Chain A
C-alpha cells in the first residue's frame, strides 16, 4: 500500500513540475530599423492607442522611399510609450511626445528614437509649447492650470492659473501665447509670456478644439460645437470657424458649418500658411481669403471608417490623412497629392492621432 501511495505522490509532483514550467515570453528588443530619419524626409505619427490600455505608439515614415517603422519608441527603448499619446512637438532637434494618460512627456532623439529625458508627475498633459530653450508651457486636460516647465532639467518650475477647467492647444503670437479651452468650454485665453499671466479671454463658441495662425498673423479657431452631444452642460451648436485678431482679441470673421457636420480637431495649414485644411467627413481646404466655407471637399477618402487627423507636407504640400478604422487595430495613413490623388497607404499604430514633420 505504501509503495502505491509513493508512486502516486511521485506522479502527482512530476505532473506539477511539468505544468509549472513555461517558456519565458520575453521579447528581445533592439534597434533594428530599415532607415535612418532624415530632416525634410520624415513624418512622425503618434498613435494615441486606447485610453486606459497603455498601447500608444510612435511610428516613423520615410517620405522618400515610402517605408514605415512602427512602435519605434518601444523598440529603441525597451519600454512602452504609454497611455494615450496626445501630441508631438519638434523643438531644437528633440521630439517631445506628450502622453496624456501616462502623465509624462518624453524627450526623444528623432534619429535614434531613444529617450533623452522625461518630464513626469504631470496631470493629464495635452500639449507642450516652447517659449524659449529653458521655458515651455504644458496644458492639461483635468487641471485648468498651465504648467511652466524647464526642458533643460525636465522639471516643473511653476504654473499659470487660468480659471479654466482645462486647456488645450497653444500658438505663439508675438509675446503672447493663445490657448484654447476645449472640453465643455467656450473660451480662448491670451497669456503674456513675460509675466506668465492671463491677459485676455474671449468667447469664441462651444468647444474650441483647434487653432492655426496664418501668414498675416490672424488666428483661426475651429469649434466643434459639441454637436454630437446635445446634453453637454455647456450646450451644443453647429460647428464653426472663427478668424480672430490676436492683438485686440476680437472675432473678425465667422463661418458656420451645417448642424450635423462631423468636424473634429483635425485642422492644419499649408507651409505658406495661406490655406486651411480640415476634416468634415472628407478633406476640405479653403483659402484664408475665402468669404464662405468650401461647398465641396477637396477630395473624399474612399472607404473611410473613422477619419482622425491630417497633415500637409511643408515640402511638397502632399496631404496625409489618418483613419482609425475600428479604433482596435492599427490605423492607416493615406498619402495624397496636393490635389487629392492617392499615392499610398500605410499602417501606423492604434488611432494615429498626431503628425510631426522632421
Chain B
C-alpha cells in the first residue's frame, strides 16, 4: 500500500479525554509519533504545492481540557509550507476568516479580525508579543509563512488565554524544532513574474538531545507589474494646446522593488526528565520601495519613497513538563530599526525631503507560565509577562530644520490566572482573570468565561460559549508621537460574547468532515482614531472617537477525502459575516456615520483552499472573496467611497520526484488566475495574473 492511512477517531481516543491534557492534545500531523509523520511533514515542507502523502493522514480527536470553550482556527501546516514566497498575509487571506488590508504587493499588510482594527489583533511569536510597540500593529507581509511551523488564530475572547489587548483576537505563531531524527537539508528556489526570485535554505538536525534548525530566505523582486490605471487619463494636445485625445494609461508599478532577507535559528536541548531548553532567533533585513499611488502625476524617476527595516527577535525558554503539568520560563529581546524616506528630486540632483523618519525600538521580555493539573478535572494556568520598551523616534526631514521626534520608555505587564474545570465528562468550563499594566495605567481586572459541552461523541460535536471584557492600551505613537501624540488617550475597552459549535467526524477510513461556527457580538468603546489636529493643521492626532458594535457569524468547513487509491481531496472553507457598526453619535444631524459599517471592513468575506493529490502530484486551488469595502464612514457608493468587491483565484501544481540520493520537487503557482484588476486599499493597485516556478532539492542521507 503506497500510503498510510491513520484514523485515531473512535472509542479509544475518547477514553484519552480522561487523562491530563498533555496526553490528549489533539494530534498535530507534525508532532505525531506515528509512522505517518514523516510522510506528512516532509510533503508539507517541500515548499512547493503540497503534493504527496497528505492523503494518508485522516485524524480527528476531542479537544483537550486546556482548550475548553476556546474558538481557534489552526492553520494547516501544509498551508504554512505551501510555497516559499508566501507571507503570513497571503496565507491568512486564504486560510482563515480574517480580512487582510494590503497596500500593494509586498507592502504593508495588516490583519483585521471580526471587524476590528489592525491594532486590535495581538501577534505572538514563540510566546513573545511582536506587535510594534510604536504602532500597535504587525506588518504580516514581513512574516514569511514558510518560517512558521505552527500558526493559529484565537478569536475574540479566546485571545485572553494568551494575552490581553486582542479585542479582535490574536495570531499565534511558532517556529519549532524538527520532529524527525537526523539531518534534513532542503534548498528551494523560486523564480517568478516581475523578476521575482526567492531562495530558501533549511538545515535541520535532530539528535537524541540536541536539535537545531536554520532557515534562510531571500526574496527580491522588481515588482513592476502592469495595470490599467482607471483613476488617471493620459492626454494628447494639438499644436494649440487643445486636448485632442485621452485614454486610461497602462502603467507600471514603478518604485515597487523589494529585497527581504530572513534568517531564523532554532536550537533545543533535551535534558531529559521533562526538562528542555530552547532558543529561537529571527533576524530580518528588509528594503522596500513604496510605489506612488495611482493618482500621482509626479515623475517616478524623481521619487524616493522607501522603507528600510531591520529587526531581531530572540526568545529563550526553559520548559519543564510533567505528567501533571508544565512550567515554562522564557525571556526575549526584540530590536527594530525602521527608516522611512520620502523625498523628490528637484531636477538638479538635490532632494526635497518630506519625511526622513528613523525609529529604533528595544523590547525586553520575560514571561513565566505554569499549568497544573489537579486530577483529571481541574487545570490551573497562571502566567505573567513583562515587557520593557524603549523607543527613539525622529524625523530628520529638512522641512523641520531641527528635526522632531520623541523618546519613550514604557513598561507593559500582563498577568492572568485561569481555572479550567471539567465537572462531568461532557462539560468544560474555563474562567480567566487577567490584569494589564501599560506605561502608567492599570486596566480593570479582565474576566473571561469560556464553556463547551460535548453533545455528540460520534460527531465530536461541541457547543461553545464565552464572554469577556478586554482592553487595549494606546500604542506609544498614539501617546507620544511628535507631532500629534495624545498622552490623555484612554484605553479602548471591549465586551464580547459568542456562542457556537464545532464538530469533527471521520467516516470510515476515507472521509473526515470538520465544521466550526460561531455567532459573536462585541462592543468597543473609546476606539482610537487619528484625525487632523484641527482644520488646516499640518499634523494629525489620535482621539478616543468611536463606539463600535461588531457582530456577526463565522463559519468554517473542512473535508478530507481519500476517494480513490492514492487520491486525496482536501477542502477548507471560511465564511464571515461581520457588520462592524459605528455607534457614535456626534450630535450633528448631517453626520451620516452613525449606524454605518466601518471603513475598510468588509461585511462579507469568504475563502477556501481545495487540494487534490495523486501519488506524487498535487494541485491546490485557493480562492477568496471580499464584499465591497467602504472607504468613507458614511458608506457612500461614489467612485472614491468604496472599493469594489473582488474574488481571487490562485492555483498551484506540484510534482515530486524521488531519486536515490535526493528528492526533487518542482512546482508552478499562478496567482490571480483570471487576471482581475483589484485593490484592497484605494489608489493602491494590485498585480494581475502572475507566475512563479519552484524547484526544491532535498538530499537523502543514509543515517537518519
- Interface positions of A (Cβ within 8 A of B): 1, 4-5, 8, 12, 16, 19-22, 25-27, 29, 49, 52-55, 57, 70-71, 74, 77-83, 99, 101-104, 115-118, 120-124, 140-145, 152-154, 165-166, 182-184, 209, 224, 228-229, 231-234, 262, 264-266, 279, 303-309, 323-330, 332, 345, 347, 350, 353
CB distance B563 to A303 under 8 Å? no
Give chain A residues whose Cβ lies under 8 Å from the Cβ of B235.
Answer: 115, 117-118
Contact A8 B563 (CB under 8 A): yes
- Which B residue sits closest to A329, measured CB to CB? B634
Within 8 A of A (CB), among B521-545: 531-539, 545
Contact A80 to B640, CB < 8 A, known contacts A308-B536, A327-B532: yes
* Alpha-carbon distance between A121 and B298 when the two chains are bound, in angstroms: 4
Chain B: which residue is nearest A54 at the CB level?
B683
Cα distance A118–B237 in the bound complex, in angstroms? 11
Contact B634 A53 (CB under 8 A): no
Identify A306's interface contact among B293, B535, B631, CB under 8 A. B535
Which residues of the other chain, A, contact B699 by a CB distance below 8 angstroms? none
* Contact indicator B591/A329 (Cβ below 8 Å): yes
Contact assessment for B589 and A303 in the assembled complex, using a CB-CB cutoff below 8 Å: yes
Other A-B pairs, 9, CB within 8 Å; known A54-B640, A145-B346: A19-B647, A25-B644, A29-B639, A57-B640, A142-B354, A184-B538, A229-B537, A231-B483, A330-B592
Q: Do B298 and A326 touch across chains, with their CB atoms under 8 A apart? A: no
Task: Give A82 to B590 CA distance when docked, in angstroms.
Answer: 25
Neighbouring B residues of A122 by C-beta, 8 Å: 297-298
Q: A102-B295, A103-B296, A116-B243 are in contact. Are A326 and B593 (CB under 8 A)?
A: yes
Please determine whether A123 and B293 come into contact, CB atoms closer than 8 angstroms.
no
B647→A332 contact, CB < 8 A: no
| Chain B residues in 8 Å Cβ range of A183 | 399, 538
- Assembled-state Cα–Cα distance A116/B262 (Å): 50
Contact of A78 among B233, B536, B586 (CB under 8 A): B233
Q: Are A233 and B403 in contact (CB under 8 A)?
A: yes
Is A83 a contact of B683 with CB atoms below 8 Å? yes
Q: Is the CB of B567 within 8 A of A5?
A: yes
Contacts of A121 in B (CB 8 A): 297-299, 302
B673: which of A20, A53, A117 is its contact (CB, 8 Å)? A20
Q: Is the CB of B483 within 8 A of A232?
A: yes
Cβ A82 vs Cβ B535 within 8 A: no
Nearest-neighbor residue (CB-CB) of A265 within chain B: B536
Contact call B636/A329, Cβ cutoff below 8 A: yes
9 A-B pairs with the lowest CB-CB distances in the bound complex, closest first: A54-B683, A329-B634, A103-B298, A55-B640, A104-B297, A233-B402, A143-B352, A303-B588, A328-B633
Distance of A340 Cα from B537 Cα, bound (Å) = 26
Q: Which residues of A contact B586 (CB under 8 A)?
A: 303, 305, 325-326
Which residue in A55, A77, A101, A229 is a CB contact (below 8 Å) of B533?
A: A229
- B610 neighbours in A (Cβ, 8 Å): 12
* Residues of chain B with a CB closer than 8 A to A26's CB: 230
Determine if A117 and B296 form an interchain contact, defined as CB atoms under 8 angstroms apart: no
Interface of A is mostly: loop
How many residues on B have C-beta within 8 angstroms of the other chain's C-beta atoms?
A: 82
CB of B399 within 8 A of CB of A142, answer: yes
| SS class, residues of chain B in contact with chain A | loop
Tell me if B682 and A54 are in contact (CB < 8 A). Answer: yes
Kindly list chain A residues whose C-beta atoms are within 8 Å of the C-beta of B534: 228, 262, 264, 306
**Quick one: which of B248, B535, B567 contacts A309, CB cutoff 8 A?**
B535
| Given known A79-B231, A143-B346, A264-B536, contact A52–B293 (CB-CB < 8 A) | yes
Interface residues of B in 617-637 (CB under 8 A from A): 621, 623, 625, 631-634, 636
Which residues of the other chain, A, contact B703 by a CB distance below 8 angstroms? none
CA–CA, A116 and B244, complex, Å: 10
Cα-based distance from A19 to B293 in the complex (angstroms): 30
24 contacts between A and B (CB under 8 A): A22-B645, A22-B676, A52-B683, A53-B640, A53-B682, A70-B638, A74-B639, A80-B231, A83-B293, A99-B295, A101-B295, A104-B297, A104-B298, A115-B243, A117-B241, A124-B344, A231-B404, A233-B404, A264-B536, A265-B536, A266-B535, A279-B535, A306-B534, A324-B535
Cβ-based interface call for B694 (8 A): no
A102–B295 CA distance with the chains assembled, in angstroms: 6
Q: Are the C-beta atoms of A184 and B400 separated by less than 8 Å?
A: yes
Given contacts A1-B564, A25-B644, A83-B683, contact A326 B299 (CB under 8 A): no
Smallest CB gap from A120: residue in B:
B297
Asked if A228 contacts B294 (CB within 8 A), the reply is no
A104 to B293, CA, bound (A): 13
Q: A82-B297, A228-B533, A327-B532 are known contacts. Are A305 and B591 too (CB-CB below 8 A)? A: yes
Does chain A have a CB within 8 A of B349? no
C-alpha gap A345/B293 in the complex (Å): 33
Query: With A54-B294, A80-B640 known to touch, is A165 a contact of B401 (CB < 8 Å)?
Result: yes
Contact residues in B for A209 (Cβ distance below 8 Å): 536
Residues of the B chain whose Cβ atoms lie less than 8 Å from the Cβ of A141 = 354
Contact with A along B209-248 (1 / 0, CB 8 A): 0000000000000000000001111010100011100101
Report the minimal beta-carbon distance from B501 to chain A, rounded to whole angstroms.
26
A306 to B674, CA, bound (A): 44
A19 touches B593 (CB 8 A): no
- Expressed in whole angstroms, the Cα–Cα distance for A335 and B521 within the complex equals 42
Q: Is the CB of B674 within 8 A of A20?
A: yes
Q: Which residues of B contact A308 (CB under 8 A)?
A: 535-536
Q: How far is the CA of A330 from the CA of B683 in the complex (A)?
A: 18
Say yes or no for B398: interface residue by CB 8 A criterion.
Answer: yes
Cα A323 to Cα B532 with chains together (Å): 13
Across the interface, name the chain A residue whose C-beta is closest to B229. Answer: A79
A117 touching B243, Cβ below 8 Å: yes
B649 at the A interface (CB under 8 A): yes
A142-B401 contact, Cβ under 8 Å, with A55-B640, A117-B235, A305-B591 = no
Residues of A close to B569: CB separation below 8 A: 8
B145 interface hit (Cβ, 8 Å): no
- A329 and B344 contacting across the interface, CB-CB below 8 Å: no
B474 at the interface (CB under 8 A from A): no
A325-B400 in contact given A25-B645, A83-B293, A353-B536 (Cβ < 8 Å):
no
- CB A124 to nearest CB in B, in angstroms, measures 7
- By a CB distance below 8 angstroms, the chain B residues around A347 are 590
Given A101-B296, A102-B297, A233-B403, the answer on whether A329 and B346 have CB atoms closer than 8 Å is: no
Given A5-B564, A12-B610, A327 contacting B398 (CB threshold 8 A): no
